[in-house]
Amino acid sequence: MEKQISILLKHLKTELISLWILQILLFAAGETNILPNGVYAGDAQTEYALNCTGVLLMLIVVPLALRLFNLNTTRGIKRMNLDEAITEYHKWSIVRIVLLAISNFANTVFYYFTLNTANLLCIFIGLVALFMCWPTYNKIKDYLELTNKQNEQ
């Protein structure tokens, strides 16, 4: 059991660190003009559409990723054995990471296309949300309710 949780913890931390590295590479691509800077800065309609899309994406994705994860993992875990519960936890962790990654990457691209700081604020919110997703042993143990399952077995 301890070994399974440590493997899960290692995988989740690797996935989150990979996402941070990809985000840094995307920023580097924008700063080195691989991503075109300010392409839509003069076009008011396109700039407005991209900013609204980025803000709405962040407003939908962050609460969804943080709350939906909790609902989906705690609802079904009581019916599962430990292996199924760990697999389910990992699956929903990946869903949460992917949702936040899509929002962060889209807002990064929108920022470099429009050079509007509203998208930069959305990126910051998404990165803070990723810090809330950082897995710890106690967090995983609480979600999986291991103390109750050990007493039952």
Residue pLDDT, tens place only, 16-68:
999 999 999 999 999 999 999 999 988 999 999 999 999 999 999 999 998 87
Closest CA to 5 of 76, 132, 90: 90
Q: Residue 83: what pLDDT? A: 84
Q: Is residue 59 part of a domain?
A: yes
Q: pTM of the predicted model, to two decimals? A: 0.86
The residue type of 13 is: K
Can you give the pLDDT at residue 22? 96
Distance CA 14, CA 18 (A): 6
**Residue 11, amino acid:** H
| Residue 80, pLDDT score | 78
In a domain, 40, yes or no: yes
Is 10 a member of any domain?
Answer: yes
Query: Residue 45 belongs to what domain range?
Result: 2-144
Rounded Cα distance, 72 and 78, in Å: 11
> Burial of 35 by CB count in 10 Å (0-12 exposed, 13-18 middle, 19+ buried)?
middle
26 belongs to a structural domain: yes
- Domain tally, the chain: 1
Q: Is the pLDDT of residue 140 over 70?
A: yes
| DSSP letter (8 states) at residue 79 | T
On whether residue 67 sits in a domain, the answer given is yes
pLDDT at 103 over 50: yes
Q: Which pLDDT score is estimated for 73? A: 63
Does 152 map to a domain? no
In a domain, 99, yes or no: yes
| Mean pLDDT, rounded, for 113-137 | 93
Q: Answer yes or no: is 153 within a domain.
A: no
Q: Which residues contact 136 (CB under 8 A, 6 or more apart)?
A: 9
